[in-house]
Every structure is written in structure tokens, then in C-alpha cells.
Amino acid sequence: MSKMRIGIVCHPSIGGSGLVATELGLGLAKLGHEVHFISSVRPFKLIEDSDRLFFHSVEAINYPLFSDPLYTFALTAKIIEVVEQFKLDVVHAHYSIPHSLCAYLAGEITTHKFPTVTTIHGTDVTIVGQDKPLYPLNRFSIHKSTRVTTVSNFQRNYIYSHFDKTKPIEVIHNFIDLTVFSPELADIDVRRKMAKDDEKIVMHVSNFRALKNSDTVIRSFHLLRRKVKARLVLLGSGPDIDNIKLQCEKLGILKYVTFMGDVTHVEHYLPNADCMIQPSYRESFSMVLLEAMACGVPTVSSNVDGIPEVVDEGQSGFMFDPDDAIAMAKSMGQILLDPELQKQMGRAGRLRAAKLFNPERKVEQYIACYREAIQDC
């Protein structure tokens, strides 16, 4: 089949949708396709351009007349420039707002016509999307996309029930590079940067916003500490961090918590954890849980949204209502006090990640989706 020239518009985030978009682009290039990333910052895993991988930086438009850098129009202009210069066959927009809307506007302006594939990652419809002023923009961008995909069956049903039933939506679950996220990369020197040798590590990775529910992380860890000599390791940063420190101080557990801050290579830290806790209130999928599974780390999480499509209950992890700190503490204790169970769950998680969320299958699904979009255009 002919090789394609594909534009990828994404948030250059270290984890989540930015990681998925970058890994997808790398996988497409490995298969011989030409991939053009369009974003404000070079995706950190895209070390350099090559003969099939290109990065196009969106420069903000700063005129004194305007109160903000007009990023949305700068992005639209950059899509037009790249589409026309490289004659792209398709543009893949990760997130409907603003990326898919910018692709639509660019398509109305360019002389070189192209289809748009939009991937809904969750927050664009469940959080931002429910914001009344943005609701019509979200619905319009979904409707105007040539093809729409999303990352879980839950998310597809959510879009159907809240936005647009007429638009067929394909579910392509997120995926993970099992050579990058692996238990083989556990490293005692890295572990010792986080905890003492005789402390079990409970890890939480987050952007510390309200929906990540750090309150339950702290409360369940506080209860766990009564039974297990454990240390809570927090990766990431965000608006809730200061409150978390205050809450830990009040509970007298601040000395058992390691704040690692933002780390670019979470895969260096994750394999050293004994358990991952992610009690989010909303998650269309949860890359963190899949990353933990790939690293052979059992998970304790909430049971919301797309998470039950990632976690195999009782096998790779345990799931509870987001605020059930008591049950989460109990299941973490069960895992951390039984090394055989911890190993068994870790193995089950990695096998599940390899079987259901491997890059090869998912990249092929996106390629088929692009080809259908090109035919429809």
C-alpha cells in the first residue's frame, strides 16, 4: 500500500495524549510513512527530525493590539503552511478543542484539500467540553471531522450521549511501548533516590488537578502506613501540590512522602514501585495505569469511565469508588504484604498490556482509519 504524508497536531505533554500522539508518529515513520508533527513545543520523545519525521513549531502571534498570542490562529496558519508545502494526505488532530477546529478552519482556507481524523482523549469532552460556551465548538468540530476516534468504549458512549449520535466513532485504545516501559528497567540506584531499602513504594503519577483526586491518595496512604512500612512517591506537579503538603503535615506523614516533581522519563521510576495508586474522578483511559501494568506494577485505582477497560479486576489491579480510601488502603496492604501476589499481579498486568495495548495493532488501526478518511474526502 502507498505511503502517506500525515500531519499530527497534539499537545506536547510528557504523558497522556502527547505520549500517545508521539509514539503513534514514531510507529508510522517506522512503517515508511512521512510524519509532520505540528505543535507549540517539540514532543520530547522526538529527539530530532529525520527523513520521515518532521517537527513544525507553532510560533505565537504577539501583536500589542491583541490581549493574547492568538495561538489558535497561529496553529491554523501553521497547518495551512505545512499542508500546502508537503501536500499532506491527512491531518490527525488529537483533541477537538482547539486542534480539530484549527484543522477544519485550515481546510476551509487551503487550496490543497485534506481529510481530518480527530481523536477525542477525554478532557476535551468530559471537562472542557461541558463548559457551556465551548459546547457548540466541540460538537461542531466532532461533526466536521472526516473521521473521529476515541480511546475507550466508555468515551465513545459518552460522546454519543452528550454530543452527536450521527457521527460514527471508532474506538482505538491507547497503547504502550513495552520495550520502554518494562520491569527490566528497575534500578536499585533510582529506587534509593525515592525510598529506603526496607520501605515499600506506593507511587502516584499526576498533574495534580482536582480530577486526579489526590485527597484519596493521601487518605489511603495514611491508613496503609498503620500496617505497612511504606513510602508514598509522587511524580509530577500541579495546582494541588501545596495543599497535599499541608494535608500530609496535618496527618503526620509528610516524612514518608517523596515529592519527585516533574520527570521527563517516568519509565525510569515506575518499574521500582511496588504498587501504583490512581483514584481519579474521571479518566477516559488512564495511560498511567497502562504504564504501571507494562512495568509489572500492580494497580489500585478508581473504577470510573474507561479504567475498567484497562485494568483486569483482581488480576492486574483492584478498582474501587474514587473516594473509598479504606478499601484502597486495604488492597494496597494485601499486595504489599504478599510478595507472591505482587509478582503474580505484576505479571498479569504486563501480559495484558502486551496482548491488548501493543503499538503494532493500534498503529495499523490508525493507518486503516486514515485510508478510509482519504477515500471519504
Helix H or strand E encompassing 85: helix 71-86
Grouping H, G, I as helix, E, B as strand and the rest as coil, residue 32 is coil
| Minimum distance from residue 123 beta carbon to ligand GMT (Å) | 5
Cα(312)–Cα(127) distance, rounded to whole angstroms?
Answer: 26
Grouping H, G, I as helix, E, B as strand and the rest as coil, residue 212 is helix
Cβ proximity to ligand GMT: between 194 and 205 the closer is: 205
Q: Residue 135: what are its φ and ψ, rounded to 5°?
A: -55, -50
| Minimum distance from residue 225 beta carbon to ligand GMT (Å) | 27
| Minimum distance from residue 291 beta carbon to ligand GMT (Å) | 10
The DSSP call for residue 360 is H
Grouping H, G, I as helix, E, B as strand and the rest as coil, residue 150 is strand
Cα(255)–Cα(156) distance, rounded to whole angstroms?
Answer: 43
Residue type, 221: F
Cβ proximity to ligand GMT: between 220 and 286 the closer is: 286
Cβ proximity to ligand GMT: between 299 and 342 the closer is: 299
Which residues make up the interface to ligand GMT (CB under 6 A)? 11, 13, 16-17, 20, 121-123, 126, 151, 174, 207, 211, 282-287
Cβ proximity to ligand GMT: between 125 and 224 the closer is: 125
| Minimum distance from residue 187 beta carbon to ligand GMT (Å) | 26
Cβ proximity to ligand GMT: between 122 and 317 the closer is: 122
Contacts of 225 (CB under 8 A, 6+ apart): 253, 256
| Nearest in space to 191 (alpha carbons), one of 283, 134, 260 | 260
Q: Which residue lies nearest ligand GMT, judged by its C-beta?
A: 16
| Minimum distance from residue 120 beta carbon to ligand GMT (Å) | 9
Using DSSP, how many helices (H) and how many strands (E) does the chain show? 14, 13
Cα(307)–Cα(328) distance, rounded to whole angstroms?
Answer: 15
Cβ proximity to ligand GMT: between 115 and 129 the closer is: 129
| Minimum distance from residue 304 beta carbon to ligand GMT (Å) | 9
